[in-house]
Structure 1
């Protein structure tokens, strides 16, 4: 299965890619405005940039009465650490890995110049995939999400991304992904030695302009470093 994606590109032959994974029930269009808001001009001095915004498969979601909707994996319990859909998570991991491979084969953009980013479920998939990916990525961005299969992470992570920078942000009033769940994810990543920039904002399960500005600064620094 190949993921359908929205693709935004600044030049005919870009040098960098940012893959953005949407949240539950959304699609690739959800983060187009955020991508268009980011001013990454300093990065463009090193080459063009692609944004790839894939659509998750449509599956029944247990917590939403089995309704079919775009989702990276099933959610079976309000407590996101309970009854995790390991099969669904791993299936989407394989799809995202294929998307990264496609950037390399079709656009000659290697993983070390690719940032994987996501919101909510997309954040979970970013961390799930990025920590296990066998080639170094430029960076990982997780917004309003958490680290899935947390107890298995230490055994399953790959050394290739042990030093990959991570940007994590969360709303202090998030009623969908509890801040405590995000903080537990942060604590585990820090315990394992990852380089995490952690930001919180007075907001709910959403994206704020202050968050976008902080992310913009982080992306410029991260992609400029990846330019070599």
Structure 2
């Protein structure tokens, strides 16, 4: 599996399709993260929350995400009622989901609802559906400790304000990852937000399995070259 997970934060269906077409043409890309922002848990609202009927029309017509048989689509659910949103994306072919610990008053209850709704347990369902939990930069690790046995991986946010691409990298994530890896060396870790070639090497050295990169690729003069340069830093801790 690739080190780099390119991320898309779509403002429209057209933008989503254009970015997915770009990434799906790159042979090394086997996983793409789609950021979903509801405008409540995080702002501003992204697609499909800013066009609420479009996704249901797509599902009803039987359409799916492109090349979902080759590419694992991971949906980063920055929203309340995340289990409902996950069910809609599951119908489109997504098979991996990130739930934010701060989006609910009870993470164990949320994950229990996810197991019921998606049929996934222990973070995966026979390799078909997997999910992880994300933790904001300012949140304490204690928020997720009780739920680690329920998920396949943990995503640490590398930015202070989630829901927007192009935010500055917050170096506090280095210490967060270091402490977590000491406590839980077997649990895969990915970092999302502000990741660049400049900080990627240190993240990898700390044991990060995957780098989720959005603007660091999309705003580069040559997005494919930028992605490949990061991929060449492949981590020995990869899953």
User: Smaller-chain TM-score range?
Assistant: 0.3 to 0.5
TM-score, length basis structure 1: 0.42
TM-score, length basis structure 2: 0.40
Structure richer in strand, relative to its length? 1
Structure richer in helix, relative to its length? 1
